[in-house]
Structure 1
Amino acid sequence: MSLLFELVGAYYLKQEALTRLAMDDARKTSQLVFETLYTKMQEGWSRQDIDKILERLNTVRSDMKVRVVRSPLVEKLFGAVPGDHERISKNPVLRQALEGNESMRVDRNGNIHYFYPVRVEKRCLHCHTNAMVGDVNGVIEVEMPAKDIVVSLDRIIFYFLSSLGFFLLLFFFFFYWAFDIKLVKPLVALTKRISSIDPEHPGGSIEVQSRCRELKTLEKTFNRLMEQIHFYYDRLVNSYTTDPLTGLKNMNALKKDLEEGRPFSMLLLNIDRFRELNDYYGFAMGDRVLKAVAAYLKEKVGKTMRLYRIGGSEFAVVCASPFDPRTVSSLLEEIHTLPAREASLSEIRISMTAGVVQHQRERLFEKASIALSAAKSRQIPFEFYRNAEEVEKAYKQHIHWMKRVEKALDEGRVTVHYQPIQQVRTKATDKYEALVRIVEEDGSLHLPGEFLDVVYNSSLYARLTREVVRKSFECFRHVPCSFSVNLSINDISDPACRNYIYEALRTYPEPGRVIFEILESEKVSNFTLANEFIGTIHRLGAKIAIDDFGNGYSNFNYLLRMDVDFYKIDASLIRNVVEDPNSRLLVESIVHFAKRLGVETVAEYVASREIADVCIELGVDYLQGYYIGKPTPDPLCNGRSICPEEP
């Protein structure tokens, strides 16, 4: 199509160019003939002389003919030329020229006939007295073949560039039209269709309204991709809401189902000692137990109930009506029969504990967890949430103190008070125990009993220990008194905390004045780690004491396995040592055995003169308690203030 337009346009341009060039060439020839004839007429030449000139001109170029025709104005003055009237009557183009119109025609032989009207000029009026300026005195006809037209180089370039420009314009217009119709519009439609796909529910197919092979390929590729996305999306959604091990709904499905806003009841079940089962029998056995429990619960749960595996060893049953306590009890009792029905579980005893919350709209899972925690702490098969309010209060209190302790650490409101320890033999107070305190924003103090148990199993406990170590080491750096810092088994088990203590001792000028108290009330199961820590502390020059000795798990075997320097006898024994003979006997036995081992003893909770006297009588080496001195932020060592900058 474009080529056809180009050919037509080129032909038209050719014809137009030839016409214009022929007229231009003939006009110049006619003007030359006229000027020649005019010159000779001024010299007085006659009509015969002029005819001879025309004959001479026509013989110069055999293919070119020059003819002259007089107008009626000239005929009146000089007479008519024979044959002119006949020619005028037969040639309409000649008549137009006599009327003053410059004209041209092409005959059958391809010759160009140019008719040039000769107009009267001012210089002609002295001869042509009957004419006016602008009138036509005659017509000069020039006949020549078109092939003899001479075209200049600049005209060739001009017409070529014009033709090329027109072709390019036409080409780009067609290209834009085809590009817009065949490619741009289908791509825009495709983009809109893709944009309209719902990301939460991908799927469907697209159809491109185009014959373009590339776009059709894109359509097929995109549709195949959408099919794969839809397939994997369904699998992902299913895995998001389904437990892969048991095939039950999971926690995500539970959260979504509870968004309905209706009141529900929940039975939250937990497999007892599941971690120990995994550790002893392996994870493969643990998976078989979970599958067996899931199958058992599916069998027992009614059609009106929904069963979920929450994660780990927990399962949840949700229904719209309240749970019957007898049904819950029966469900938990029959779980014991599961190993008998499953040959692969014959070596295992399975039991479950449950928490029940009845007909609640909000915090259903949280309340069921609180009830489950209450049942475990009370060592009963199941408990209802209504009977576990104190557990929730303790839980909230726990969260409250965790936030307060963390904020105090971040804001530098953790401080240390020091309680004096008196040596019985010299009566000198040259030892102190570092005790942590939290200072509120209003200046009030919180004692360790309010927050230590809460943060014991969190990372905050190690942060508190490091803060006490840092402050006490700085406080006693330049004074000759000894001091002790309490450590838990968790502190010893924490590599970061251990390394912090080791580094502090390496840079301390007199590590021999440092004592670390290990809480004896905590059961030490890893004696290898404990003894390794004690050995490292001794090599660095510091000492070790067992705190709260006589409370919990103390026995002589325990004493023998721990290479320590001090036993701090627990307050529960010292408090009653005056009135209770048994307490007195236990303290006496501990002191006697400690002396045989070369270990010094410290009596805690010496609150009166009577208690102090009995402890001295029994051979205790050091006394500590309110009778000796209360904890203070600014202790005195040999009459000198140790750390007055402490609040």
Structure 2
Amino acid sequence: MSDLQRRLQLALDAARMAIWDSRIVNGRVADGTVSWSAQGAALLGLKAEPLTHAFNDFLAFVHPEDRERVTAVLQDGVDRRTGYELEYRVQAPDQSVRWLAAKARVFCDAAGAPERTLGIIWDVTERMLKELRAAERKDLAEVTLGSIGDGVITTDADGKTRYLNRVAEQLTGWTTALARGLDIGATLALVDEASGEPIEHVALKCLRQRQAIGVSSHSMLVTRDGRRIAVEDSAAPIWSRDGAILGAVVVFRDVSHERKLSQQLSWQATHDALTGLINRREFENQVAAALHASKQDGHVHALLYMDLDQFKIINDTCGHGAGDVLLQLLAKMLQGPMRDSDILARLGGDELGVLLPHCPPDHAHLIAEQIRQSIKDFRFTWDERSFELGVSIGLVEVNEQSKSMTELLIAADQACYLAKEQGRNRIHVYRESDLMLARRQGEMQWVARLNEAFEQQHFRLYAMPIVHLHTHAESHDEVLIRILNAKGDLILPGAFIPAAERYDLMVSIDRWVIRAVCHHIKSVRDSLTPLEAFEESHRRSPALYSVNLSGVSLGDAKLQEYITEQFVEHEVAPEQICFEITETAVIANLPKAQVFMGRMKTLGCRFSLDDFGSGFSSFGYLKALPVDYLKIDGIFVRDIANNAINRAMVKAINEVGHVMGLKTVAEYVEDEATLEVVRELGVDYAQGYAVGRLRPLTPGLD
């Protein structure tokens, strides 16, 4: 071996390369032979010694999936006389697989015909395995990114787009092919949800600050075709092993539904669902802000408290549906006489409030008079009946001497009360002396009226049907109390109950109702013929009467004894009586209420929890109370046909009630649309003008 050959061999050994030499027959590689150096033979997994074999024998060592390609590449290199480069797999006798890289030149005879190839070959198994693993990881990453539900976009260190996953392509309207190389601000165009103005891009902010940027909840994505989608977005840097930033990854998702629901909840927290006006809580916030401005800057504002004079009559004669329509109409009409800055609110029931910012008393009185006149001129028609309305308005000045928001509202309420006492349909401007005067006059008058009602038998009972939505076998009524005064006016409990509670008359009223109901049951039974009485005694479900109990009565230690006496005197089965109590009354008297309810349940009485769902603690206390019925608060039922949140609330309360083995009752079911939804949700009973109207129960006691 010459020195040149030895040096060449040493170089090849150092580079872990081997010589391979092939002979070509008639221009065809496949018909020739392949010669290997000792190192080359070892690469095939054979003994390390020179080897010459037919090309087809060589192919036997090539991985089956690579044989056709190897033959084609070698033949092409020979045909073009340029040589070849390729990488392929060989399979050793022990079935191990290795990757080889080959590089060769073509040598021709004097006539130019190819006669041999000569080149080098080396093992690239380690490199190929690394590349394959890297490619596999890349494929896995892309499959993973393509499978997740969030949009993912990667950028380079300059904020140029590199990659979009499937969700990102769908949301933005850009494909990876179209977006690659574009500024991320163009691919993922983000603007502020409130202003619509472009915002600092989360990816660019991430690259600038060299840190992860948390979720932003006020971004809006402008898609390639101009649509706007509410998104939450965040970004994190992509680091190299040596600490350099390679780019950023942005993760974002469509939160249109969640943000819309959040906006609805936020709106409902501050607005009245029926009229669209702001509610009492938000109105109080506005009044508090106005008072703060008065104390800070000396500004003068005005506050109006309004009570519709004929609203209860419309509700009683035409149903709550008519009252709801009236309030909606008035809400739109009343904003006519007002300035753009004036704030109209529904404070509850038929009570409205108006805040007149930067409005001196004289001008406030003028606006109040315009409101009063517009309501007086308004005619409300329902079922071919026409109603004339009036409004009593209390006016209070808000200035730097005003004490607090609560006292302002109390003052406005008392001024409104005095307007009603002075003949209704008028305006009363509050004075310091009005508060004590109104309280003293109102309280004393109602104490006298209630005592007169007891003495003159002015109390009247009315029945409101509670109708089972799936069977018709039951007779169930809620008993409601009214006062029929000497003038023939029917007075609702909302007018006299506050005074009764304040002057400890509620226990007497509750006892009157219990006695009157028992008397009614006995009267109905006594009026039956013998045959009817026999049939009635054998009915599976005797008539059931729901009687409202106040929180004060729940704490009356002698109430159980009184009720038992009435049952005995009037021969009333306790199973015919269901006591209705509000959750607030129960919570305020929980220990005594539990004892009372337990004892009355032992007798056979039933219990209904009224206005359920209005308090945050409802579900927690429910487990501690032996109730039979849940009356779902009407605030959730009224607009259930149009309000998804109310529907969800009723559905949840109904399902919890059923899980606990309780019957559910939907209040304020005033129309067919509401009734259909309530029935569809599986509520057991309905109460309201869609299923039954208020009717007199008894004229009183003998």
Q: Which has the higher helix share?
A: 1
So what's the TM-score if we normalise by structure 1?
A: 0.38
So what's the TM-score if we normalise by structure 2?
A: 0.35
Largest Rg, 1 or 2: 1
